[in-house]
Chains A and B, each alone.
Chain A
Amino acid sequence: MNSIATIENEIVNEFSLLDGDQEMTLYYLMELGQKLPALPEAARKEENEVKGCQSKVWLTARAEGNKMILEADSNTAITKGLVSLLVRVFSGQAPDDVLAAELTFMKRIGLDRFIGTQRSNGFAAMTKQIKFYALAFKTQLAGI
């Protein structure tokens, strides 16, 4: 498993091929979203919804050993692309690493400008939710 920083660099490199073209970037984002497996209907329930997103976003987390596994879905294509990036960065990482991470790839790609304030706030809400899960797992692991 690559480190969070390494995965972030990979993402930045991929997006840099699009030369900052907004339309191409959004299409690429949606393509990434399409590759993210859909959550089963049963998981698309209110308790898995991320609060603070304009679109609907569902996030689930489970522990595999000392790693955190994330799955996610959204009802809009662009947001699904965004959450797929978070899954890529954080899923399979140790809770401590997730908690310590300060993501920079959004800024480095310029995605925060492209997606606007509301979606940026939504992105922040998703990140926060993932960190909550990480904290919960950390506490759980410490308790065992």
Chain B
Amino acid sequence: MSKKNLVITSITLTSIVLGLIISLGVLGPIPLTSIRPLGLFYALFMANRNITIEVFPLIVNPGNFWAASTEAITAILWDYRGLDTLFETSVFFFAIIGSIALFRFTEKEEHEIRKKTHENHASEGKYLGLSLITKTITKIILFTIIVVSAAIALHGQLTPGGGFQGGSAFAVAPLLAIAALSRFYLDDIGFKKNTMLLLRTMGLLIIALLAIIPVVAGIGSWQAYIMQNQPKEWAIIQLFPPKGLGVLLGSLVYYNIAELLAVGAGFTIIFILLSIPEEFYKKIIEKEGVEHG
């Protein structure tokens, strides 16, 4: 038996055996369909729907209890784990700052790099890169990625998506553009390093302000919460949009938008910097070293 056949046979056998094991219940009992009302129970509790439902064996009115979020993880964790997210964001912030410090160019030097790399570059609207087919399709895909990443971030309060996920999905767009269309395409659509730096700083500022505003405003009183997400009637500052937009929003929706900006733009900066040919940035950094050293 050849190596290839052996691999195919073993994969097939493994999947059959695994399937058998799982369906026979060796790895644990398989949930029955009668457990489904439990899911409904959780969903209604979290959404704070003021209606009475019948979930065997209880009749409950979830309006008496609430988690104020339709998304399970947010309902349980956000108000307690929000600080964790704040620190994660700070780590990412320092990582990007570090890379920008490594690739330090003045405005003039950057212009020079652009001019130099532009010399072996075709006329306007024609980008170096892969074939015409790939370039055209990439332009369309890039557009859809940007729209979808925004949708991921803006539905973070309902789904397992969120700002970081949306931002990471967004970052695929500039990466694809650099590979298929060259970095000058990013210049043409306005994805420049400094623009991205501005967007990223804006995102981080919004996150920091949102976290701190309730505390600052609540000085002298105990009724304010740092990084408050869920509505608390007794808190002075209510940092969440009103109900009535059809979905229940916490302050999470603002954090998600800000995080999308910070992460998406942060990754874009890294990709733009990494796409500068080595021969240019090494020369500039070395020259700087000699001057100061």
Interaction A to B: no
